[in-house]
């Protein structure tokens, strides 16, 4: 895919002949989680899209896994995972959060659109795809990578998604791959959806310890949750690409967690006070001024790390969605 070509305009066909079908989804650009929860009518509209892949041999409705990319947008690894799901007899949907917003990456500036918008993209994608006649709405899984991992975790939080999904928990299983967990709800109720986090202990974009805290909080709140920390693995260790440095990446993995109050307001780490006016940029500026900001980070895999991820992914969704 070229820098100017949108994912929706690509023709993607898997080895077994399965072709992707573009699905347009009406989303929005909330300023923050508080607006998403308390004033959704004020959210500026946005249009996103993605490609749906349906197994050619199917009898009746099939489970679905939605694959959500990170800050570098859709990569060959995301399509490879989608192809694996189709081979398992599942439908897969690869979401493009960037094309409709006129961008290709948030690596250098994660505040181009809010993390709340990323979570909302996932929520409305679930709602849209669950209504398709080919999809078993009772067996939907989410898999997000990096920023996409953050998006699927937050999309599963009931006090955030209730206004979109109503009283029904719309996802059964969530796999967050090396997610940034700098935003966490004070009440991490996942509504019974099973949460799985996979992250490397050499990740220099995201904190494995912060992810541990999120997983433990979800578990204590009553939903099944687990984490696997892969020794020696860095960020995006499922990509099957040599380790490379991304010089323009702006990261702050050691910054304190910003918790969300029940109404979605950020609780500032230094004051402990919930403020509906706080947005992602306010917290990013705080992290930079406090000395947590770092320029440059690495991605890629070595050895059998990509195979380790793939095996864990297959095991998780085989167990939760079959």
Give tens-digit pLDDT for 59-80.
Answer: 899 999 999 999 889 999 999 9
What does the alpha-carbon distance between residue 292 and residue 45 come to, in Å, rounded to a whole number? 33
How far is 90 from 111, CA to CA, in rounded Å?
Answer: 34
110 pLDDT more than 80:
no
| pLDDT of res. 304 | 98
Please, which pLDDT band fits residue 130 given cuts at 50, 70 and 90?
very high
**Domains of the chain (ranges plus CATH)?**
7-321 (3.40.50.1820)
The predicted pLDDT at position 3 comes to: 55
Percent of the chain whose predicted confidence (pLDDT) is above 90: 91
* CB within 8 Å of 122: residues ≥ 6 apart: 66, 68, 95, 142, 144, 151, 152, 155
CA 131 → CA 21, 53, 82, 170, distances in Å?
A: 16, 15, 20, 11
Residue pLDDT, tens place only, 18-70: 999 999 999 999 999 999 999 999 999 999 999 999 999 888 999 999 999 99
**Which helix (DSSP H) or strand (DSSP E) does residue 183 occupy?**
strand 183-185
Task: For residues 79-106, give the mean pLDDT.
Answer: 94
Give the neighbor-by-neighbor strand order of the sheet with 194-200.
21-28, 45-53, 91-96, 62-68, 135-145, 173-177, 194-200, 225-230
The residues facing 183 across adjacent strands are 258
Give pLDDT, residue 106: 83
Give the integer Cα–Cα distance in Å for 148 and 213.
18
Q: What is the CA radius of gyration of the chain?
A: 18
pLDDT of residue 206: 97
* pTM for the full predicted model: 0.96
Averaged confidence pLDDT in the chain: 95
Please report the pLDDT score of residue 276 as a whole number: 98
Asked if pLDDT for residue 99 goes beyond 70, the answer is yes
Instruction: Determine the average pLDDT of the residues in 258-286.
Output: 97
Confidence of residue 112 (pLDDT cuts 50, 70, 90): confident
Task: For residues 165-176, give the mean pLDDT.
Answer: 94
How many C-beta atoms surround the C-beta of residue 287 within 10 A? Answer: 22
For residue 127, give the 3-state DSSP assignment: helix
Structure tokens at 187: 């009440």
Joined together, the tokens standing for residue 1 give 């895919």
């Amino acid at each position: 895919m070229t820098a100017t070509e949108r994912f929706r305009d690509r023709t993607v066909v898997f080895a077994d002949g399965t072709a992707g079908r573009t699905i347009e989804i009406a989303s929005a650009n909330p300023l923050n989680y508080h607006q998403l929860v308390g004033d959704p009518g004020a959210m500026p509209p946005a249009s996103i899209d993605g490609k749906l892949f349906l197994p050619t041999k199917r009898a009746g409705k099939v489970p679905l896994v939605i694959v959500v990319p990170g800050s570098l947008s859709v990569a060959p690894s995301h399509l490879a995972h989608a192809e694996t799901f189709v081979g398992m007899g599942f439908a897969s949907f690869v979401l493009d959060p960037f094309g409709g917003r006129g961008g290709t990456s948030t690596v250098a500036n994660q505040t181009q659109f809010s993390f709340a918008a990323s979570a909302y993209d996932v929520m409305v994608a679930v709602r849209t795809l669950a209504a398709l006649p080919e999809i078993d709405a009772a067996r939907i899984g989410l898999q997000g990578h990096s920023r996409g991992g953050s998006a699927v975790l937050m999309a599963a939080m009931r006090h955030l998604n209730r206004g979109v999904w109503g009283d029904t928990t719309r996802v059964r299983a969530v796999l967050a791959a090396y997610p940034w967990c700098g935003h966490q709800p004070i009440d991490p109720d996942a509504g019974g959806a099973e949460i799985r986090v996979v992250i490397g202990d050499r990740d220099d974009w995201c904190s494995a310890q912060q992810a541990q805290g999120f997983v433990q909080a979800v578990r204590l709140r009553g939903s099944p949750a687990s984490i696997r920390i892969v020794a020696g693995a860095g960020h995006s260790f499922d990509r099957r690409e040599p380790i490379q440095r991304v010089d323009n990446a702006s990261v702050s993995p050691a910054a304190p967690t910003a918790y969300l109050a029940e109404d979605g307001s950020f609780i500032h780490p230094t004051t402990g006070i919930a403020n509906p006016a706080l947005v992602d940029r306010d917290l990013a500026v705080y992290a930079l001024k406090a000395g947590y900001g770092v320029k440059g980070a690495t991605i890629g895999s070595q050895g059998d790390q990509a195979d380790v991820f793939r095996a864990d992914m297959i095991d998780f969704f085989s167990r939760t969605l079959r």
